Amino acid sequence: MSAGAPLLEVDDLRVSFATEDGLVRAVDGVSFTISPGEVLAIVGESGSGKSVMAMTLMGLTRGPNARIAGRATLGAVELVSASERDLQRIRGASIAMVFQDPMSSLNPVYRIGRQIVEQIRVHDRSVSKQEASARAVELLARVGIPHAERRLQSYPHEFSGGMRQRVMIAMALSCSPRLLIADEPTTALDVTVQAQILEELRVLRQQSDAGIILITHDLAVVADIADRVIVMYAGRVVEHGTLDELFYDPQHPYTWGLLGSITRVDRDTSTMLPAIPGMPPSLLRTPQGCHFRPRCPHAFAKCMDVPELSARAPDAPGHLDRCWLEVEQKRKLRVVGDQIGLASSEPVIS
Amino acid sequence: MARFLVRRLAVMVGMLFAISLVTFLLFIVALPGGNPAGMLAGRLATPAEVHLISVHYGFDKPIWVQYFRTMEHIFDGTSYSYQSGFNVLSEIEAGLPTTLSLALGAGVIWFLTSIVVGTLAAIKAGRYTDRVLTVLSMIGVSMPVFFLGAILIYYAGYKASLIPISGYVPLSNPADWLWHLIAPWFTLSVLFIGIYSRILRSTILDTINEDFVRTARAKGLSQRQVLLRHILRNSLVPIVSLWGLDLAQVIGGGAILTESVYSLHGVGYLAYQSVQHFDTVTLLSIVMLTAFCVVLLGAIVEVLYAFLDPRIRLQ
């Protein structure tokens, strides 16, 4: 982690959408920074606002029904208020994005070479088609696609899912972005392919000083690659810390629940796999106070007020969380059996 | 590609055979009013005269002999109308330039206009422009050709003298040719523009939500580049397939109303007259022409498909 100026600074980002049923608060005051060369993981259930947050950074959630507030500063550019023209220049060049479903994220009617060349040339008209093609071959080879030169002429449907995700990564890298946002890049893939794609991201991180935002709901992926972790719940950040802080000293009950519901080889297989009770709240009608309150076995009167996201453990000033419980209390409450978990987690069949 | 063509050709021959057989049985054998010889001879003919005509035209032969003789005549160009005595092939040949001019011109107009109108409606979906275009499309779809044609001829042709009232001028005089075809093109296109633009609008609105469109935007393409290269290109398949079929039908004499209203003596007009005069031989030939065009353009559309979407294999 470099100690220099942050690459991206997000400050109190809020995104809501006006729908027929009311206002959906998808992102409710998210702040974080990411430095060059750092991998920041954003974890949360479906609908916790992680993807909307990432899309907002690229200006892809703008629309007549979207209300976006807050600041997100990348270098000299403030992304929330940037003009569409400026954003076009940034998208794909300074910030690139890899999406969840590689099967549908490439245009089926164009050869993949053309799709990569398109991105290179839209940001730099001075590059000739030949030069761009040569660069595309290099990129494909770099993400581990064999016979890259020949594969340039292939259509997306001629690739497997994992290969397509490599193409997406190659495309995202084509303009050497300073920030790479990977939105559940391995979710739609087989486990073995997942590992390969994560390896590509790890190599990429070593080779460049690009910052990576990795959005996922898979804590195993996080443990594998992240430097710092943000846990989101119902549009809010509930915990924010380094990988070690989060895995070994988790402060928020929701994080305990997440950690408790990982399948682990060292767990007795005859016991049931615990799950967090209840469902995430609708973003139309979020609960008063702490959003996790209705599902939290440790909730008490104070939880009707929203806890600030702040450092509560004296020994870890960078470890932030949103929970009213005392640190010592938490350290006791989170132990279930001999592991971290949420006390009343209901067992499901493992 | 070669295998595709060979297979398509075989299908074409088979389909034409089937269609000709059905049409032959409908028009010649199951002719309303019974014996064609009796109709040809007229009401006052004696049984001897009817028999003579029957032998002359071969109506006394078994049906399959009649069928093959009729087909032979159609294909070697020696088929004559029972009513007028004219050679059917030369009648159709005389009408083809008119019909082709009408069909191809209108086809290009309705295809391109639909793309513009449908795209505009889609990108303005739900807004004022979209609503106006929706109403216009509905009017276009529900406007009968004979009514629209009559109105144009009366107001723009007769009252205002903006366009010629009717008739066809051969392509050897391009300016006059164009001048005389503007109103028919417009009249024929209106219905198709209404339908096609609606279809394209909904296809585009489906495509906009595709993941690859989000990727295209994330790559930094401008709205226009995303629209033209990624959304529109992926939305064309449905209207291209419709276009092939509709165009084939119009070339094969399907624009009967437009040709009649504007006195364009094309294949459609010939079909209209054949129906009026019970001229089954001519009708049979026109139906064969229509079938041929539909099958042929169907094959062309499939090639276009494969070009528009590489996931479709020609087979």
* Segment B40-96, tens digit of pLDDT: 777 787 888 888 888 887 888 888 888 888 888 888 888 888 777 888 899 999 999
Please give the radius of gyration of chain B, using alpha carbons only, rounded to the nearest integer.
Answer: 24
Cβ-nearest to A92 among B210, B220, B310? B220
Instruction: Tell me whether residues B221 and A157 touch, CB distance under 8 A.
Output: no
pLDDT at A2: 45
Cβ-nearest to A109 among B214, B221, B308? B308
Which chain B residues have a beta carbon less than 8 Å from that of A157? Answer: 310-311
pLDDT grade for A267, boundaries at 50, 70 and 90: low
| Chain A residue with the nearest C-alpha to that of B310 | A109
pLDDT grade for A269, boundaries at 50, 70 and 90: low
pLDDT tens readout for residues A197-240: 888 888 888 888 889 999 998 888 898 889 999 999 999 999 99
pLDDT tens readout for residues A89-102: 999 999 999 998 88
Q: State chain B's mean pLDDT as an integer.
A: 88
Cβ-nearest to B211 among A99, A118, A155? A99
CA-wise closest residue to A216 among A99, A68, A321, A74 = A99
Look at B206 and B23; give whichever has higher pLDDT.
B206
Domain architecture of chain A: domains with CATH = 8-226 (3.40.50.300), 255-340 (no CATH)
Find tokens 């495509």 and name the residue.
Answer: B207
| Chain B residue with the nearest C-alpha to that of A157 | B311
| Chain A residue with the nearest C-alpha to that of B207 | A107
Q: How far apart are CA B216 and CA B225, in angstroms?
A: 9
Shortest Cα distance, chain B CAs vs residue A126, angstroms = 16
Instruction: Say if residues A188 and A101 touch (Cβ distance below 8 Å).
Output: yes
Q: What is the pTM of this model?
A: 0.83
Joined tokens for residue A247: 């895995």
Residues 59-78 of B with CB under 8 A from A: none
Cβ-nearest to B220 among A99, A106, A122? A122
Q: Summarize the confidence of residues B187-195 as an average pLDDT.
A: 94
pLDDT at B81: 83
pLDDT tens readout for residues B213-228: 999 999 999 999 999 9
Instruction: Say if residues A15 and A66 touch (Cβ distance below 8 Å).
Output: yes
Q: How many C-beta atoms lie closer than 10 Å to residue A296's C-beta?
A: 24
pLDDT at A228: 95
Cβ-nearest to A106 among B215, B225, B310? B215
Instruction: Tell me whether residues B212 and A106 touch, CB distance under 8 A.
Output: yes
Cβ-nearest to B218 among A60, A84, A89? A60
Spatial strand order of the sheet with A8-19 comes to A22-34, A8-19, A66-74, A77-78
pLDDT tens readout for residues B87-133: 889 999 999 999 999 999 999 999 999 999 999 999 998 899 999 99
pLDDT tens readout for residues A122-132: 999 999 999 99
Q: Is the pLDDT of residue A14 over 70?
A: yes
Q: State chain A's mean pLDDT as an integer.
A: 88
What are the structural domain ranges in chain B? 19-76, 94-308
Amino acid at A144: G
Q: How far apart are CA B230 and CA B235, in angstroms?
A: 9
Residues 270-309 of B with CB under 8 A from A: 308-309
Shortest Cα distance, chain B CAs vs residue A323, angstroms = 36
pLDDT at B116: 96
Return the number of CB contacts < 8 Å for A and B.
Answer: 67
The residues that bridge with A91 in the sheet, in sequence order, are A95
> B94-308, what's its fold?
MetI-like fold (1.10.3720)
B127 touches chain A (CB under 8 A): no
Look at A344 and B189; give whichever has higher pLDDT.
B189
pLDDT grade for A341, boundaries at 50, 70 and 90: confident
B211 touches chain A (CB under 8 A): yes
Pick left, alpha or beta for residue A147 (phi over 0 → left; psi -120 to 50 → alpha; otherwise beta).
Answer: left
Q: Are strands A346-348 and A273-275 parallel, antiparallel or unpaired?
A: antiparallel
Which chain B residues have a beta carbon less than 8 Å from that of A91? Answer: 217-220
pLDDT grade for A10, boundaries at 50, 70 and 90: very high
pLDDT tens readout for residues B142-175: 999 889 989 988 888 888 888 888 888 888 888 8
Shortest Cα distance, chain A CAs vs residue B236, angstroms = 12
User: Half-sphere exposure of residue A83, counting CA atoms within 13 Å on the CB side?
Assistant: 2
| Chain A residue with the nearest C-alpha to that of B236 | A109
pLDDT at A121: 95
Q: Summarize the confidence of residues B2-10 as an average pLDDT.
A: 82
Q: How far apart are CA A48 and CA B90, in angstroms?
A: 74
Look at B198 and B279; give whichever has higher pLDDT.
B198
Which chain B residues have a beta carbon less than 8 Å from that of A122? Answer: 219-221, 225
pLDDT at A193: 80
| Chain B residue with the nearest C-alpha to that of A101 | B211
Look at A136 and B46; give whichever has higher pLDDT.
A136
Amino acid at A275: A
| Chain B residue with the nearest C-alpha to that of A156 | B311
Interface of A with B (CB under 8 A): 58, 60, 84, 88-93, 96-97, 99, 101, 104-109, 118-119, 122-123, 155, 157, 168, 171
Q: Is the pLDDT of residue A348 over 60?
A: no
